[in-house]
Amino acid sequence: MGHFFWSVLLRDLTLAGRRRSDWLIAVFFFVMVSSLFPLGVGPEPELLKRIGPGVLWVAATLASLLSLSRLFEDDHRDGSLEQMVLSPASTVQLVLGKAAAHWLVYGIPLLLIAPVLGIQFNLPSDAIVVLVVSLLMGTPILSLLGAAGAALTLGLRGGGVLLTLLILPLYIPALIFGAGAVDGVMAGTGAEAHLSLLGAFLLVSLLVAPWIAAASLRVSLE
Amino acid sequence: MNFYHYASPSTFYHLAGKVIPWAAWTAAILTVVGLYIGFFVAPTDFQQGEAYRIIFIHVPAAWMGMLIYLAMAFWGAIGLAFNARLPFLMMRALVPTGAMFTFVALWTGAAWGKPMWGAWWVWDARLTSTLILLFLYIGTVALWSAIDDVKRSDRAGALLTLIGVINVPIIYFSVIWWNTLHQGSTVSFTHAPKMATTMLQGMMIMTLAAWAYAIAVALVRVRRLILERERKTEWVNEILSEGS
């Protein structure tokens, strides 16, 4: 039954490959939001080092939300989403495939650009490694929970802003554990505790979010 | 007793009408008793002076804010599981009260914090998680108001509350750990001095009053919602023509 998951994933990756501007916009958004903070709070290296992990994590959260509002939107508009939900294939797999594609297209580029931004914020190299690891474990959570939010707000007016309002409070644990891991390394207490909790939160999201998102899709398409 | 009997909006409408006066009077009497104990009987706290008396409103409000969110998730789950209309209406009827109690808890907390901590707001774990709870309430209302179709709006709200309720404990503990990492402990709740018995009694009575108030207000609201939803049916038209 994993077949459907893979075909959704490949299809969404192909579509994303044909519209490169979409994910480039998300990456530039991440870079720009992060670069605004030094301009806002001042260029002192110690201060930037202190706020860096939090700023980068908040910016990554917002960048991921920016693209999530369109997760189901295009397929909904041309009617293919309805066909996929109506088909006998599992809607949970559809959601998982979509979320995985979203993570690969929008999450991975953030991971790759994050070290550069970490250097801008004067983070030490071991903190940068942990930042990338925490984003690696944290961004799938954003895609999974966001998929549930995108399914709930499908086709609504002002859907994007509404999605932000619904999903940001749910992202808070990921933000705390993710930024906390980087802070932990810099404070000398180690990152293992925060990363373990982040991993646990990822597993919980993986267990719960696809089912809620599938149920929400069915409700939204009725 | 057959509970399904009361799952029909028309029978529940009449049942709610009978319960409301009881709940409302209980709330009124308990509030008067609780406030009397709180403001006149309970002794002055030797550390905090008179300012501590805000807890007779603050603590019940904070408890109710959390409890009503759980109740919403419960009704949402029941509604989704049994595919019934009434539980969703209960859920809608609870939200304004829950958001109000959460807001009151934050507000009275700020009013207490100013003389005690010297600041209206500190990023304490409890304050922060209560604020996030308020965000969750606001998100639910925002989702409802964005969806015109009643059936979809009911279900979407229930699903959102379900994700929310799974997340609430995670958010709560993450905020506690975040707090211990970032802040030198300014105020310790775990070593709080033992409360005098009268203080505890006053607080419990106020909590019961808050319960009764929430039940009364939610039932009044659910009756309005039933009338609105069932306005095309005969029994509602009969009630409305009798009333006018």
- With contacts defined as CB-CB under 8 Å, which chain B residues touch A204? 166, 170
Phi, psi of B45 (to 5 degrees): -75, 135
Provide the b/e sequence for B177-212 (b: ≥16 CB within 10 Å).
Answer: bbbeeeeeeeeeeeeeeeeeeebebbbebbbbbbbb
Chain B interface includes A221 (CB < 8 A): no
- With contacts defined as CB-CB under 8 Å, which chain A residues touch B160? 152, 166
Q: Check pLDDT > 80 for residue B45.
A: no
- CA distance linking residue A99 with residue A142, whole number of Å: 9
- CA distance linking residue A123 with residue A38, whole number of Å: 14
Residue of A nearest to B137 (CA): A166
* pLDDT tens-digit map of B180-232: 665 444 444 454 555 667 778 888 899 999 999 999 999 999 988 888 888 88
Q: Identify the bridge partners of residue B45 per DSSP, sorted by sequence position.
A: B49
Per-residue confidence (pLDDT) for residue B1, from 0 to 100: 53
Per-residue confidence (pLDDT) for residue B243, from 0 to 100: 66
Helix then strand then coil, in percent of chain A rounded to 5, is 85, 0, 15
Supply the ipTM of this predicted assembly.
0.84
Count of all residues that appear for chain A in the document = 222
Using CB atoms, which residue from B155, B167, B171 is nearest to A219? B155
Judged by CB atoms closer than 8 Å, whether chains meet at A156 and B146 is answered as yes
pLDDT band at A211 (very low <50, low <70, confident <90, very high): very high
Residue of B nearest to A213 (CA): B159
pTM: 0.86
Cβ neighbours of B18 (radius 10 Å):
9
Chain B interface includes A170 (CB < 8 A): yes
pLDDT band at B2 (very low <50, low <70, confident <90, very high): low
Judged by CB atoms closer than 8 Å, whether chains meet at B132 and A172 is answered as yes
- Distances from the Cα of B113 to the Cαs of A182, B116, B117, B234, in angstroms? 31, 5, 5, 54
Greatest CA separation found in chain B? 65
Phi, psi of B49 (to 5 degrees): 70, -145
* pLDDT tens-digit map of A97-108: 999 999 999 889
Cβ neighbours of A2 (radius 10 Å):
10
Residue with tokens 């644990």: A173
